[in-house]
Amino acid sequence: MSLDQMWAGWRSEFVESIPSPKEDCILCALGRLSVGVDTHVLLKGDLNFVVMNAFPYAPGHVMVVPYAHEGEYLSLGEDVVEENLHLTRRVVAAIKKVYGPDGFNLGANIGKAGGAAIAAHIHFHIVPRWIGDTNFMTSVANTRVLPESLAASYERISSALD
């Protein structure tokens, strides 16, 4: 039995953009920014913030990120997890309102072995999904097909959060 592999070459741009441990964590830096279309930060809570994913898998792909620079899920405080889930529900409702997806992928890649590109700072993805939305453009042609800009996605979700 052999294991087939598919490469997602577009991921290298993102992985190479991650600061070294000697530099500031990109997620910590995003957490210090103001809410706005230019920063892609949609919403700020007391313990977490919501930001558009700069390399989205689908229109409306966002992340809910604790401010705490922590890579271990079990080390997050109950209050952080509670607010994270509250913000996730709020954003899922907004995305459903403006995009009407058929479903969602919700989750986190925890640790390098779990696929985390930024293993030192846990973050949770919200990816709207539609029946038939997957294709091989990303892995074969090193291209993502998105029907709108990141700014347009931001504006649509932001308007539904108000």
13/21 Cα distance (integer angstroms): 18
- Delineate the domains of the chain, giving CATH numbers in brackets: 22-161 (3.30.428.10)
Q: Are 54 and 65 in contact (CB under 8 A)?
A: no
**Locus of tokens 């990109």:** 26
In one-letter notation, the amino acid at residue 78 is E
Whole-number pLDDT of residue 133: 72
Q: Any catalytic annotation for residue 86?
A: no
The DSSP bridge pattern shows strands 41-44 and 48-52 to be antiparallel
Question: Cα–Cα distance between 126 and 62 in angstroms, integer?
Answer: 5
The answer to whether the CB of 41 falls within 8 A of the CB of 30 is yes
- Give the model confidence (pLDDT) of 47-103 as tens digits: 999 999 998 888 999 999 999 999 999 999 999 999 999 999 999 999 999 999 999
Dist. CA 41–CA 44, nearest whole Å: 8
Which residue among 40, 61, 121, 123 is the active-site one?
123
